[in-house]
Chain A
Amino acid sequence: MNVSKSYGKLNVIEHLNFDVAEGEMVSIIGPSGSGKTTVLRTLMTLETINDGVIYVEGKPLTHMAKGGVLVPADERYLRRMRTSIGMCFQSFNLFPHMTALQNCMEGPVQVLGLSKKEARERSEELLHMVGMIDKRGQHPSRLSGGQQQRVAIARALAMRPKVMLFDEVTSALDPEVIGEVTNVIRKLVTEHNLTMLMVTHQMGFARDISDRVCFFYGGKIEEQGTPHELFGSPQRERTKQFLSAVKEAV
């Protein structure tokens, strides 16, 4: 609510009010520097916000109650709250010294305190779901970009988050493997009741999969609506310009 984020004098997000319903799939689109990724990073608490409060399931995420008032959350509080949020990054960020299976087991064992056996079962199930079970013993350096991103999705899901954040997860991939990753996300949307926010440049994918699409410009939501509304009949001039520029590029 009313969230602002700036780097020095540069305002990246300005007084943003943004609600996402449980189980909703929201795609965020917009030009570079519009604050799309920053929104996800503040939600994952990788960036601190300068103003406002972010809530998850009605509980403050970035702040904690102390003496009846909300104060910026400390590291311990943030760690507890982060467990309900999972994030996948553009550059995968798999741990290179661990195999695909170990990457998925790390969080459940180290953070959730699961036994290795439980974590292994959970991770294998997820690797199976993303079609990576055969590669469970491989290190990331032996996997293609699409394979790494699928493992990264499994790793985030192994924490059983309630909210999943996807930050341009297909941007670093070769065109022929983008489908591997989008199919996994599609599967998540249809088979799991996860709340998801996805920053993407894949307009077709956002159109197919989203309940709502938000167009960001200058750190604000310029326009939002169902994919049909936003892609079919955009109302704002900037949205029209952006969508036509994207169409031309394709």
Chain B
Amino acid sequence: MPIWEFLQKYSSVLMHGTWVTCLQFVLAVLVAVSVALVMGIGKLSANPLIRGTCVVYIELFRGTSLLVQLYWIFFVLPLFGITLPNFTAGFISVGLNYGAYGAELVRGAIQAVPRGQWEAATALSMSPFARMRRIVLPQAIAIMLPPWGNLLIELLKGTALVSLISVTDLMFQAKQINASTYLSAQAFGTALIIYYLFARVLITPSMRWAEHAVARRLGRS
């Protein structure tokens, strides 16, 4: 079947899948960023209990497979009385997993803010919270943005795994089309291009814009 004919026939299904992937991506990013900030800052805490909790979390989620985590959250948690719909289990698993990688980016960026900045804020009698929020984090964000751009593209590709718990994302729809038509090249080829365009047209320019915006705030552009 020629590609235009294929697209005409399956575009609505693929569009729906893209929309679900888009939602999974956005929600997983929100989870990942929140988790990364909490765990990244927590890993620098002077309190050994907080620090230890963050280290265990990061090691656990970074050191085990996303697919296994996804299955754990969707299939094993119900055995402990926590049942999540597949859509929710999908973005939470992806968010928690990439959040662990993000936590290390946050920690590294905070540690890369020159010590003099902390000291100047301390000399102004700022509280630890104000020091972090007003002085250190805005500078750390500028440092961590480029690697976050990379991580978000990884995260987008990671969302494809949610199809394995029957979330009707782009990958799920491509697999369905393939299973019923055997048009593998068209189905997976289209999915491949959509994922690429998503990353190239949406994520990369957005991150570039964010980097420029932060550079402007720092008076660098």
Contact = CB atoms under 8 A, between A and B. Distances in A.
Interface of A: 44-46, 75, 79-80, 82-83, 85-87, 89, 91, 93-97, 99, 106-107, 110-111, 138-142, 152, 155-156, 159
Given A46-B119, A89-B116, A97-B139, A107 B218 contact: no
B219 A140 contact: yes
B8 interface: no
Contacts of B185: none
Interface stretch (B130-138, B148-156, B163-171, B188-196): B130-138
Contacts of B64: none
Contacts, number: 73
Contact of A107 (B126, B128, B217, B219): B126
A6 to B, nearest CB: 20
A136 B142 CA distance: 23
Given A93-B116, A97-B139, A110-B130, A82 B122 contact: yes
Contacts of B123: 44, 46, 82, 85-87, 156
B124 interface: yes
Contact of B220 (A44, A95, A141): A141
A228 to B, nearest CB: 32
Interface string B203-221: 0000000000000011110
22 contacts: A46-B119, A75-B128, A79-B126, A79-B127, A80-B125, A82-B122, A83-B125, A85-B123, A89-B119, A93-B116, A95-B117, A95-B121, A96-B139, A97-B142, A106-B126, A107-B126, A110-B134, A111-B130, A139-B219, A141-B218, A142-B219, A159-B125
Contacts of A155: 124
A151 B82 CA distance: 56
A89 B134 CA distance: 20
Interface residues of B, number: 23
Contacts of A152: 120
Interface of B: 114, 116-117, 119-128, 130, 134-135, 138-139, 142, 217-220
Given A87-B123, A93-B116, A111-B125, 11 more contacts: A44-B119, A89-B119, A93-B114, A95-B121, A97-B139, A107-B125, A110-B126, A111-B124, A141-B218, A141-B219, A159-B125
A184 B160 CA distance: 62
Nearest to A108: B124
B138 A97 contact: yes
Given A97-B138, A97-B139, A110-B130, A138 B219 contact: yes
Nearest to A82: B125
B140 to A, nearest CB: 11
A221 B203 CA distance: 60
A96 to B, nearest CB: 5
B213 to A, nearest CB: 11
A12 to B, nearest CB: 17
Contacts of B130: 110-111
Contacts of B114: 93
Name the residue among A97, A99, A152, A156 with the largest chain B CB count within 10 angstroms. A97
A95 B120 contact: yes
A28 B142 CA distance: 38
A222 B138 CA distance: 44
Contact of A96 (B119, B125, B134, B219): B219
Given A89-B120, A141-B219, A95 B135 contact: yes
B87 to A, nearest CB: 38
Contacts of A46: 119, 122-123
